[in-house]
Structures are given as structure tokens and as C-alpha cells.
Structure 1
């Protein structure tokens, strides 16, 4: 073999080896590698990786501040940890881990107000779902330390089909011919108002757990059917740690629901939530609600309810979060023909732009199974539905500590039962904590 050929092969092997080494180095410089170093308390390695991540991003020493905040927190130096965690929060508001570092350290320092504020801000950037439920409970626990805490909400949602009824005016009666659908059974334009309030009192607290008592009132009013539906709930949420980082909530509850000043519904059950950080970018969360249901005005609908969800959240970019959720709701009624099972999958992307605009885009697909056939059909009824939602707010537009958020939502439902075939355009205004 000639010298030139040997030299050529050596050069190719060297290039390949360099590529392998550089590729391996690139793979080790990641948030996952930073998490691994922090978990091993290899602080020199963590600082090295954080510095390289910051150099790649060109946004300042954000990851270095985060890594140092965790180090100080684990060493009991919370005064230093909160300063660094807050710097990371200000630079990257959608980066979740520094919020939890700041919350725990402010709480340990006895600064309950600051701890609650970090949780309120974190709650504001999270979409509705299991993870947000856990943070909401932690926030309520922090706010109710040593005193009752009051909360409330109000929403108004104009809709082209507020009662979610059919958009058709006739039904195919098979051999009996078409039939007319009465006006009151069709979709109606209107506004759905929802409002409520709560009071929470902390009963006991330890390093591992917290127990509270909560009374809550929720009121729903629709201008379409003029229905006024208040409900009253008493619950006993217990919040506790699971391992080093996971948080769980278990809350027995009782709910009484009224319809036209008559007791319509009694629910007795338990709800639970679990939030599990996987690393700096990824998180899992779970919800489960089980309840025995008594429908006093319609006993055939009495039975039990099981409602469970699982969500996965991850950071797609510096200020872009993706949340996916799968949910199943089973309603087991005394009358077998009234039983239903609903399954949904949802994906949502939230983006914070440099100019302060916060934009959320959400899509949901679902299917509902009935234990009865549709009218004039032989097979059990199946409904399918899809929902798209766009939500926008701006960090510079606030009302006191709150940031108004406006949304538009479109729903389309199609079914072998004409009464479940409809579409709807909804707009609404909500308030979230500013950050």
C-alpha cells in the first residue's frame, strides 16, 4: 500500500475521530447535562456546563445564575439563592425551575409574601391543567399561613351557541319522515357568566406536609336559558412532598349544587394532583377526581364520576412552552342508557415575545361514547368534537397586579345524533397575575 493512501486513511480516521469527539462534547453541553451535574452536586461541572450554555445562547449568565441558586439553596444559603433565582426569572420568565427555588427559599426565610408572589407568577404562565392545579394549591397554602385567605374570579364569555345545542332545524325520522326541531332545543346566542369566591384556612403545617380547610362558592348563569346554578364546596386539601422534588395534593370534598333554588346535585369524593419535574425542561403532572353523585331532581343520573388527566410540559425554546394533556371522564349513572365516556387530547404552545406579547395557541380533539343509540339509529351514539383557541395578553397592559387576557375559541361537534351536531364561536376576557 502506497504512502499517500496510508496518509489519506489516517487523515480520514483523524477527521472521523475529531467529529466523534466534538459530537460527544456537543451532546454533553445541554440542560439535561446541567441537571445531571446539579443532581450529583458536581458544582464545578455544573458551572462549566452553565457557562457554555450561556455562551451559546448569548443572553447573559442566566444558566450560571440558576445553577448557583440551586447550589446556594441546597447549602442552606437562601438569601443568596433568591437573588440569583430572581435574576434567572427576570431574564427567562418561562423557565420554571427558578420559580420553585425562589418559592422554597423565600418560604424558609419566613418571607411568605414573596414566596406567594413567585407562585402566583408561576401560576400565571402555566396553562390550565394538572400542573397548574398543584401550583394553585401551593399558592393557597402559602397565602393562608396564619390567617384566612380570600379569593375570587369572574368571567364573561359571549357565544354564538352558549347552550351547545344543535344548529339544525330538522331531524331525519327515517320511515316517519323529517321532523321539526323546536326552537328551545337549538343553539342560542348569549353570554355565559361564571363567578365565585373562596376562603381557605391553614389547619396544620410541617416540613413535609400542609393541611387546609377550604369553602368555595361557584355560580354559573346563562342568558340563553336563564339558568342560575350556584354550588357550594367544602374540602380538606392535604399537600405533601413525594421524594425530593415532586409535590402532591389529596383533597376530600363535598359539593352541593342548586337549580332554581332546589337541591339538584350532591357530590362526595376526593380529588388528587401530582406534579413531577423530570429535569429543567420537562415536567409530568396528573389529576384524578372520584366522586359519588346524587342527582336529586333526576335520580336516573345518580351514580359515580371518574375524571383523570395526565400532562407533559417541555420548553421548545427560550420562551416557548409546549403542554400536552390527555383526559378521560367516565360518568356511571343508575340508568345505563345515560352513561358516557369522554376522551380528549390537547396540545398548547405558549410564547412570550421580546416586545412583551404573550400568545397561546391551543387545539383539542375529543370523542364521546354513549351507552344508547342515537334517535332512529341502531348503533350506540358516538360524538366527535374539535376545539381551537387563541389567547393573547401583553405584559405592559395591566390592571393593578393583574394582566387581562382575551381569547377566541371555535368548537365544532359532529355526531350521528343531530342534537349533538353544532358549532360555536366564543370570545372571552380573563385576568391572570402579571409577571
Structure 2
């Protein structure tokens, strides 16, 4: 498995390894020929043999999107069932939830007793001579509920089996789009085919699995994007959800504490902050305190890892809330002009101190360059002689540290009229 910090390697193959690989290729081609033969008519009727054939092929080649699509059709046509038209998700839910502790016979008898018609004065023996029409209706209703519950249990087993089938593939191929897409599709089926609490439980368990995936590869872009998808759905009315922004923000805290270089965790954090502050109903004082805390957090990271690009990107995001505040939501929307200038000036001073300890980190020089030009822009003035001299020195160092971007440094030099 190729993950972050794990280089791809292709070692020397022995003759035995080559022979085994050729056998694997032959097996794969035979399976592929059989697959094309069975699907040539384009009917895609479910058969256990064809479904098992898709399993074998996908284990060998999970990038084979045609096989995934055939598997989708087989699953819907042959394994998943809908409840009868008369039963609702809530009706199926009540029986599905109680089936673990209550037998169907007791359900039926209790339903019958609750709807019996007491003997009337005109017919003293009506309650003893036999079941009434209402009793028959109750028994019929109970039977429908039992059928709906059985259908829901069967569908749950099918969907869980599919999720279990995909999981080993994800471990071996964590960057394969088709596996992630199919997994999303299965989860959407859970909403369509299962009672609401059962569907929500499936999605919650999936969020736990995603956390485990991110433990294995904490910067896997697919797993982070999948997490945002899961959380958005768990928060939605479709799954009777509530806001999870606080929990997810805390999760990014744990992930960044574990690995300061986690681009995706910092990115997720930046997206959660506006919602977090809105849900807290934070006033200007609380927002500024929060901003100072975040800025202090990333600066403490830079003190020990000034060559960490992800930290500089998050620092840039935070400072953009001070410097580029017009026409977009920001953490500190009501800072006055003097405070904005103070923040930028203070960051320049702190980064200069960092440069004294780390002479050969290009991100430091880029930050000095960026915030000096930002200060000039905010104050709506020309660069003074001292600033031009410093910028010329920083550009010279950047040419040395990052010669691949010499064209960019020349453009900045021209813009600054050096």
C-alpha cells in the first residue's frame, strides 16, 4: 500500500515471482472472459455465480468500474427488497427494533388483545364466540409489520456484507476512487432500504471506520473527503441528525497534535471554524480570543518546525482573516484598522526572530515578503527604502533556496521596482 511517508518500491523479481505473476494474469483473463460471456446479453439478472464472479474480479482489479456497475445492478435486482406498499419506515422500525427481544407470536397476540371489541349489550356472546373483523385487521397489520421487519433485517445483512467485502480492498487500495464511490453508494442504499435508526447506526459505524483509516494513513485525501461527506449526512434531517461541528473540531485538534504536518486536518479545521463560532454565538471579544489562541497554536508549531509547509499554510489562512476581510466571512470581522496593522507588524517581528534561528528555511523568507507587501497594501503607500533593501535581500536568499521559482522572484522584484 502506498501511503504518505511510505515510498513506492519495485524490487528485483525472481523467476519464481515472474511465474506466479503470469499465472495470476492468466487467472484474471479467464475470469474476465467468463464475465463478458455472462453479461453479453445485457440483462444482468441476479445469479449467485455471476455475483461471485464480480467478487473475484474486483479482488484482483478494484479499478474495473464496469464490474462495479454490474455488481450494483445485481445487488438491486436480486438481493435487496422493498417493504410492501402498505408499510412505512416507521412501522418497519417498531417491529424491527423489538424483534430482538420479542417473538413474532407475542407481537401478534398483544396487538390482537389491544384491538379486541368488548361484548356489546345487544350481543352478550359476541366477545366469546369468535374473532371479530377488527381482530382480523389487527392480525393482518401485525403480519405486515413482521414482514417489513424481516425485509429490513435481510437488507441490513446484505448491506453489511457489502461493506465488509469492500473494507479489505480499501486497506490494500486506499486511493482507489471506485472503491470509495461504491461504498458511498452502499451507504445511500442504507437510507433507502432500512428503518431510520438502523440506517443511522450504519453511518455512525462508518464514521468510526473512517477514523481507523485515518489512523493508518492520517493524510489520506480520500478518507478526509469521505469523512466530511459522512458528517454532513449524519448532521442532515435525512438521518435525523444534529450538529457535529464541536466533535469534528476536537478531532482535528487530536490529529494535528499527533502530526503537525497534516495538511488535511488543518484544512478541515479551517472549514469548521466559521460554523463553530456561529454555533457558539461568539461575540467580538470571544472571536478575538479564539483567533489569538489559534494563532498562538500555529506559532508554537512553527517554533519547533519552521520548515513545515502545512503550518505556514494554516498561518496564512489565519492572517488572511486580518488582511483580506472584505466581502467574505472571517473569524474577526470587526477588528478596527489599527488592530489589523498591529497584527501584521507583530507577525513580521516574530518571523524576523524566527529567521535569526533558522537561516535556510525558504518559508520564512516567503512569509516576510508576503506580510511586508501586505502592510504596504493596507496602509496604501509605497515601499520605503528600508523595506526595498530588506526585500532585495530576501529575494536573493529565495533564489538560492528555491532556484526553480526564479521567474517568480524576478516578477516580484519588478513589481517592487527594485
- Shared fold (TM-score, shorter chain, > 0.5): no
Instruction: Give the helix-richer structure, 1 or 2.
Output: 2
Instruction: Give the strand-richer structure, 1 or 2.
Output: 1
What TM-score, normalized by structure 1, do the two folds share? Answer: 0.31
Largest Rg, 1 or 2:
2
